[in-house]
Amino acid sequence: MLNIAILDDYQNAALTSANWDSLQNTKVTVFNSYIQGEDVIVEALSDFDVVVLMRERTPFPESLLARLDKLKLIVTAGMRNFSVDMEFAKSKGIIVCGTPMVSHSTYEHTWALILALGKKIPQENAVMHQGGWQAHVGIGLKGRTLGILGLGRLGSRVATIAHAFEMNVIAWSQNLTDEAAAAHNVKRVNKETLFAESDFLSIHLILSDRTRGLVGENELGLMKPNAFLINTSRGPIVNEEALLATLNNKKIAGAALDVFDIEPLPKDHPIRNLDNVILTGHTGYLVQELYEVVYGQAVKNIQAWQAGKPECRLNN
């Protein structure tokens, strides 16, 4: 009997999104809650041959992999997962497979947050449910400036939608060129100008050594008092302490955050108490079709591995 663990299925979507019954001689166990602490993870997973991961929710560093003696196969959502120690897994004979993803959900979520910020939708929704009427004044998007930090695959799609709202779009990242920006009808600016001129500033970078903490006190201090920050990328790109101080002191109009330094976000985290921030729990990429793609491919990866044809490697 092959023991398969599906980790971090917070929304109870895994079993209904793929045909797990098609796997032969297997037992599938779903963990719906986050398992915290390496010792606890080892105890929970010690009897499993296969682990299915949803992105980077549970890291698998060398210290953890070294203690999971039965583990033979890891399947992760996406073709990139920097939280898995690929070199050590390879040295231990553990095969690591990735799956396709869908990208439209993230830039759709970005725009849901931008619109919610500008139109005061959470506040007005609360007022209406409390019996009130027209308590807040929103702003229009036409003629406003959208700043994009990272004009790659997702950032460029966010820019395309901004043009439909007749917004001005500017962008900056370390490697962005004038030609690449112009290809998306975007003006490349320097980092200081990006933060100083944006009415909405949206982050679309991969977390790496050079992007960690890229948005700090200095960058936030350049933003206009009526500007908004949106982060659907990775929490540590923004210095959390600096962002908390900026929001607490009302130095910008607000923020919308889908990602955080620690996930799941602790229940007592101070950002939960702020009235000028919209929070979602890293759900920007989560839509039903994503689950169907990821878990459907996970089943196929396991079947291929069982058949001795593990044609699956990550892009790390």
DSSP percent split of the chain into helix, strand, coil, nearest 5: 35, 15, 45
Report the C-alpha gap between 33 and 6 in whole angstroms.
Answer: 11
Nearest to 92 by CA among 55, 45, 57, 60: 60
Q: Is position 184 annotated as part of the catalytic site?
A: no
Q: Are 254 and 231 in contact (CB under 8 A)?
A: no
Report the C-alpha gap between 68 and 71 in whole angstroms.
Answer: 6
Asked if pLDDT for residue 139 goes beyond 60, the answer is: yes
Nearest to 96 by CA among 304, 313, 256: 313
Domain boundaries, the chain: 2-102+287-306, 104-279
Report the C-alpha gap between 142 and 162 in whole angstroms.
Answer: 9
pLDDT of residue 308: 87
Asked if pLDDT for residue 311 goes beyond 80, the answer is: no
pLDDT band, very low/low/confident/very high, at 136 (cuts 50, 70, 90): very high
Report the C-alpha gap between 68 and 45 in whole angstroms.
Answer: 7
pLDDT band, very low/low/confident/very high, at 309 (cuts 50, 70, 90): confident
Q: Is position 234 annotated as part of the catalytic site?
A: yes
Catalytic residue among 57, 144, 184, 234: 234
Secondary structure of residue 119 in the 3-state scheme: helix
Mean pLDDT of 274-278: 97
Residue 38 vs residues 60, 90, 129, 138, 212: alpha-carbon distances, Å: 9, 20, 43, 46, 24
pLDDT of residue 315: 58
Secondary structure of residue 53 in the 3-state scheme: strand
Q: Report pLDDT digits (tens) over 184-205.
A: 999 999 999 999 999 999 999 9
Asked if pLDDT for residue 258 goes beyond 70, the answer is: yes
Percent above pLDDT 70 for the chain: 98
Mean pLDDT of 54-81: 95
Are 2-102+287-306 and 104-279 the same fold in CATH? yes
pLDDT of residue 80: 87
SS3 readout for 268-308: CCHHHHCCCEEECCCCCCCCHHHHHHHHHHHHHHHHHHHCC
Asked if pLDDT for residue 312 goes beyond 80, the answer is: no
Look up the CATH architecture of domain 2-102+287-306.
3-Layer(aba) Sandwich (3.40)
Percent above pLDDT 90 for the chain: 95
pLDDT of residue 310: 67
Catalytic residue among 124, 240, 263, 292: 263
Catalytic residue among 55, 57, 144, 282: 282
pLDDT of residue 316: 55
Asked if pLDDT for residue 289 goes beyond 80, the answer is: yes
What is 166-217 written as a DSSP string?
Answer: T-EEEEE-TT--HHHHHTTT-EE--HHHHHHH-SEEEE-----TTTTT-B-H
Q: Report pLDDT digits (tens) over 205-248.
A: 999 999 999 999 999 999 999 999 999 999 999 999 999 999 99
Q: Which helix (H) or strand (E) element contains residue 147?
A: strand 145-149
Strand partners, 53: 76
pLDDT of residue 199: 98
pLDDT of residue 313: 61
Mean pLDDT of 152-168: 98
Look up the CATH architecture of domain 104-279.
3-Layer(aba) Sandwich (3.40)
Q: Is position 62 annotated as part of the catalytic site?
A: no
